[in-house]
Amino acid sequence: MAYSDKVLDHYNNPRNVGALDKSSDEVGTGLVGAPECGDVMRLQIRVNPETQVIEEAKFRTFGCGSAIASSSLATEWVKGKTVDEALGIKNTDIVKELALPPVKIHCSVLAEDAIRAAIGDWKKKNHVSEAVEVA
C-alpha cells in the first residue's frame, strides 16, 4: 500500500520524538495501544500551569508509518493550544490531513486517544476538572 506524501514526510522526519519528565506536575503522559495491531503510542505534553497552554509535546510510537505520522502530527497540532482546545482535535482531522486509507484509520484513533490520555493524566495530576461549558 502506498503512503501519502504527508505520511512519508512525517515518517521520515518525525517531529517531537522523545520524552518529557513524567514526574513533573506540568507533564501529562498518555500511553495507548491499538488492539487491532498491537501498536503502542506514548504522547506527552507540558502544560503552562497559569495559561493551560500546551508548550511542549513529545511522542514515541512503536508502530506502523501511519501511526508514527499520526502521532507526529498530533504533537504539532497540540502545541500552542490550551488543553481544552486540544481535546477538540479529532482523528478524522488527522485522517484528512494525512490522507489515510480506511485500513489505517485506527492509527489516527490511536493518536486522538493518546492526546486525550495525556490531557486526562495532566488534569488528574493538577486536580483540574473537566471542561466547563462556556455560555
- Binding site residues, ligand FES, CB under 6 A: 34, 36-37, 39, 63-64, 66-67, 104, 106-107, 110
Residue 70: φ, ψ to 5°: -65, -40
Least Cβ distance, residue 84 to ligand FES (angstroms):
26
Helix, strand, coil tally for the chain in percent (to 5): 45, 20, 35
Cite the active site residues. Answer: 37, 107
CB of 98 to ligand FES, least distance (A): 11
Nearer Cβ to ligand FES (81/106): 106
User: Least CB distance from residue 53 to ligand FES, whole Å?
Assistant: 28
Number of H helices, E strands in the chain: 5, 3
| Count of beta carbons in the 10 Å neighbourhood of residue 42 | 20
**Residue 71: half-sphere exposure toward Cβ, Cα within 13 Å:** 32
